[in-house]
Copies of this chain bind each other. A is one copy, B any other.
Amino acid sequence: MHHLTAAELDAEGTEHPYDADTRVEATADNAFAATISERWNALGGIANGGYLLAVCLQALRHTLPFPDPLVASAFYLRRGAPGPAEVRTELVRSGRRTATGEAHLLQGGTEAVRAVATFTDLRQATGRTLDLDGMPDLPPPEEALDLMAGGSLPGVNIAEMVDYRMPRLPGWSQGQPSGDPRVEFWMRFRNGRDADLLSLALLVDAAPPAILELGEFGSSTIELTVHLRAHPAPGWLACRAQTRHVIGGYHEEDFELWDATGQLVAQSRQLALLPAASR
């Protein structure tokens, strides 16, 4: 496969795939057309849940009077499929500081994702700041290992869109899951697009799941909550992903993203079900 460089994209005047694939177009009051791309397929060859949430948030951004998603919760009802989609939105409440809306992503008239989100203007946040937890201690990205240098995962198109740099290759990628589902690494979009705040809702779900280190092959997300805490600085994002509790096949995955200046920019938690338990 050929990756366009930032220069090539600029030269072509081409939109970055993230922008093209999360674009929504108003078709009526509170109704938007979108196209689900297969470029963001995750394990199992299904559309990545964070990507579908990002599409919902793009529609909500047109619906709500504030620019920045602050917290979003998505319930995954059915698998997303490549092709056309409709996003229907509702302004639930609009206040002085925040507004809350709901989005339903439908394909073929059937709802695949239900999301609720509160937006604000983060640049107007005036309260105190206090970080009691540091960013991951990682080697510089240029000294870290490219997760995909050894090859690609069949059907996992999202790895062609996102660049992962690891201090060491994960056990699962060597056929020897470590048993420890707590991983730290760097991530960014390929092809020279820096992450903006909204795109963090995609990126928190864009890495190989931590439970691969338990010898599990993927997992089905039931619900994903994302807190979008600060506009990220350009460049690489440091990531910490971990699963601490697997009970009856259900497990959480916590994910945190810091920008290159050491600022926490997003936190997420999802509840998912291991494939052996979902058969």
- Asked if A249 contacts B127 (CB within 8 A), the reply is yes
- Quick one: copies of this chain in the complex? 2
The yes or no answer to A160 lying at the interface (CB within 8 A) is no
- Asked if A271 contacts B127 (CB within 8 A), the reply is no
Contact with B along A71-98 (1 / 0, CB 8 A): 1010101100000000000001100011
- Asked if A127 contacts B245 (CB within 8 A), the reply is no
Stretch touching chain B among A2-10, A165-173, A220-228:
A220-228
Stretch touching chain B among A46-54, A114-122, A142-150, A195-203:
A114-122
The yes or no answer to A229 lying at the interface (CB within 8 A) is yes
A222 nearest CB across to chain B (Å) = 6
The yes or no answer to A1 lying at the interface (CB within 8 A) is no
Which residues of A242-279 have CB atoms within 8 Å of chain B's CB atoms?
Answer: 243-250, 252, 263-264, 267, 269, 271, 273-274, 276-278
| Contact residues in B for A73 (Cβ distance below 8 Å) | 73, 75, 116, 223, 225
- Asked if A75 contacts B100 (CB within 8 A), the reply is yes
| Contact residues in B for A122 (Cβ distance below 8 Å) | 248
Contact flag A100-B114 (CB < 8 Å), given A71-B271, A127-B276, A248-B129: yes
The yes or no answer to A133 lying at the interface (CB within 8 A) is yes
| Contact residues in B for A180 (Cβ distance below 8 Å) | 132
The yes or no answer to A130 lying at the interface (CB within 8 A) is yes
The yes or no answer to A214 lying at the interface (CB within 8 A) is yes
A201 nearest CB across to chain B (Å) = 14
- Asked if A244 contacts B75 (CB within 8 A), the reply is no
User: Which residue of B is nearest A134, CB measured?
Assistant: B244
| Contact residues in B for A244 (Cβ distance below 8 Å) | 131-133
Which residues of A229-244 have CB atoms within 8 Å of chain B's CB atoms?
Answer: 229-230, 243-244
| Contact residues in B for A267 (Cβ distance below 8 Å) | 245, 252, 269
| Contact residues in B for A227 (Cβ distance below 8 Å) | 252, 269, 271
Q: Write the residues of chain A forming the contact surface with B, with a CB cutoff of 8 angstroms.
A: 70-71, 73, 75, 77-78, 92-93, 97-98, 100, 102, 111, 114, 116, 118, 122, 125-133, 180-182, 214, 222-223, 225, 227, 229-230, 243-250, 252, 263-264, 267, 269, 271, 273-274, 276-278
List 20 A–B pairs whose Cβ atoms lie within 8 Å, in order of A's numbering.
A70-B222, A73-B75, A73-B116, A92-B111, A92-B114, A102-B114, A118-B223, A125-B250, A126-B248, A127-B250, A127-B276, A130-B245, A132-B180, A132-B182, A132-B244, A227-B252, A227-B269, A227-B271, A229-B245, A230-B247
